[in-house]
């Protein structure tokens, strides 16, 4: 048999044809309808509030269980907190059961008596994530260079924004910036700012960089194009729970620490490279560093080079064993501390200058001769007292 009892209790606001003569029928129907709409709105509000409580309960329960498994904190306190949360869960189950009973006892009305039998809903599917292109390192680097060349100004504008609403609006207007290239550029910019000791600006750019990385991570989890996650991320970060916000702030602090460490490494690398280039510039014709060679010389030879006394140098070399003297002088020549036959080379140059003057019919005066003597190349080239002190 067909059960018809459920049709006996149906609430319809205008189901009475005859009413008391002193009652305005139209007003009565409107009042009944308004009362029914208000009751339904109140029930919907209770359902929404219950749903929020249920979500909060589940989040707290997962957090406490995770902390207990990781042994993060006082175990006894965590267990007591877990018992309290589970008690709250039982209370929520009781409230849910009462709400279901109350809903079943509620009379049907024109809004709940039936549902559409035929309905078609068309939903635009979000664009999927682009497959990772099989690019070589050179091709990736070239693409990054091209992106920076075309969008560096826009990337810096985004990096300087401070409000979430402004960042959201800017990225929605320039969706091509939502990608790995922008995140990589902001990382490099943050390192450069830290190297320039612009710490506050670095911290702000780092915050914008983490926002971009969170958008990319959200797109990866949902398997959608990152451009479709801009609005979702900024809405979530502005109305997030404390746990999510704490995780976001922790990620920013960790990122800033990595930026500071990398900046110090790059500074040390730059100093080492500059020192190495300076050392190469000092190398003599034999590939030896004159400063290192000078420090390795005996004290008596050091005194000769410091005083630039050739006669003293000859006497010191003569007093040394032949093998030792040859070794030291060879190293001095290879480093440029000593230039062999420098006087002869200078004399040949002077004769050529004199011949040129005679051929030109000009005579050198005493002032010209003294000037020529002043231009003589010193015997010790490539090193000075200031260099070796």
Q: What is the pLDDT of residues 325-355, one digit of tens each?
A: 888 788 888 777 777 765 544 544 454 454 4
Task: Tell me the chain's radius of gyration from C-alpha atoms.
Answer: 44
d(CA 140, CA 146): 10
DSSP code at position 113: S
- pLDDT, one tens digit per residue, over 137-192 is 888 888 889 999 999 999 999 999 989 999 999 999 999 999 899 999 999 999 99
Q: In the chain, count of helices (H) and strands (E)? A: 15, 0
- Please, what is the end-to-end C-alpha distance for the chain in angstroms? 115
Burial pattern 314-341, b for ≥16 Cβ within 10 A else e, equals eebbeebeeeeeeebbebbbbbbbbbee
Single pTM value for the model: 0.46
- pLDDT, one tens digit per residue, over 19-58 is 666 667 777 778 877 888 888 888 888 889 999 988 998 8
Task: Label residue 387 by pLDDT band (50, 70, 90).
Answer: very low
Helix, strand and coil in the chain, % to nearest 5: 70, 0, 25
Instruction: Return the structure tokens found at 95.
Output: 């409230």
Report the range out of 106-115, 135-144, 247-256, 294-303 with the highest average pLDDT: 247-256
- Is the sign of the CA dihedral 270, 276, 277, 278 positive or negative? positive
Give the residues across from 108 on adjacent strands: 10
* Domain 138-279: CATH architecture, name and number where available: Up-down Bundle (1.20)
Question: In the predicted model, is pLDDT for residue 356 greater than 50?
Answer: no
d(CA 384, CA 130): 64
In SS3 terms, 116-175 reads as CCCCCCCCCCCCCCCCCCCCCHHHHHHHHHHHHHHHHHHHHHHHHCCCHHHHHHHHHHCH
Sequence ranges of the domains in the chain: 9-16+23-105, 138-279, 290-341
């Amino acid at each position: 048999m067909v059960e018809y009892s459920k049709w006996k209790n149906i609430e319809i606001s205008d189901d009475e044809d005859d009413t008391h003569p002193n009652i305005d029928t139209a007003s009565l129907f409107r009042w009944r309808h308004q009362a029914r709409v208000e009751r339904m709105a109140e029930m919907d509000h209770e359902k929404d509030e219950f749903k929020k409580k249920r979500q909060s309960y589940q989040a707290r329960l997962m957090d406490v269980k995770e902390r207990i498994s990781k042994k993060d904190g006082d175990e006894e306190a965590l267990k007591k907190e877990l018992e309290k949360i589970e008690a709250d869960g039982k209370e929520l189950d009781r409230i849910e059961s009462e709400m279901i009973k109350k809903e079943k006892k509620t009379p049907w009305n024109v809004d709940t008596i039936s549902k559409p039998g035929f309905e078609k809903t068309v939903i635009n599917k979000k664009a999927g994530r682009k497959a990772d292109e099989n690019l070589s390192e050179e091709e990736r680097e070239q693409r990054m260079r091209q992106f920076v060349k075309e969008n560096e100004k826009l990337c810096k504008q985004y990096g300087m924004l401070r409000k979430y609403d402004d960042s959201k609006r800017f990225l929605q207007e320039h969706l091509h910036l939502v990608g790995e290239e922008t995140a990589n550029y902001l990382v490099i910019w943050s390192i450069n700012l830290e190297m320039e000791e612009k710490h506050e600006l670095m911290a702000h750019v780092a915050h914008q960089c983490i926002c971009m990385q969170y958008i990319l991570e959200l797109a990866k989890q949902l398997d959608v194009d990152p451009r479709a996650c801009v609005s979702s991320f900024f809405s979530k970060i502005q109305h997030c729970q404390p746990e999510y916000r704490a995780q976001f702030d922790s990620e920013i602090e960790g990122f800033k620490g990595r930026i500071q460490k990398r900046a110090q490494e790059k500074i040390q690398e730059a100093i080492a490279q500059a020192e190495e280039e300076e050392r190469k510039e000092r190398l003599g014709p034999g590939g030896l560093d004159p400063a290192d060679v000078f420090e390795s010389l005996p004290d008596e030879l050091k005194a000769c080079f410091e005083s630039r006394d050739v006669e003293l140098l000859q006497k010191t070399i003569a007093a040394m064993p032949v093998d030792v003297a040859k070794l030291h002088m060879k190293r001095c020549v290879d480093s440029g501390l000593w230039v062999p036959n420098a006087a002869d080379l200078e004399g040949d140059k002077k004769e050529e200058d004199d011949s040129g003057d005679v051929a030109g019919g000009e005579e050198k005066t005493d002032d010209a001769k003294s000037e020529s003597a002043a231009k003589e190349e010193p015997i010790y080239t490539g090193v000075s007292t200031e260099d070796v002190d």
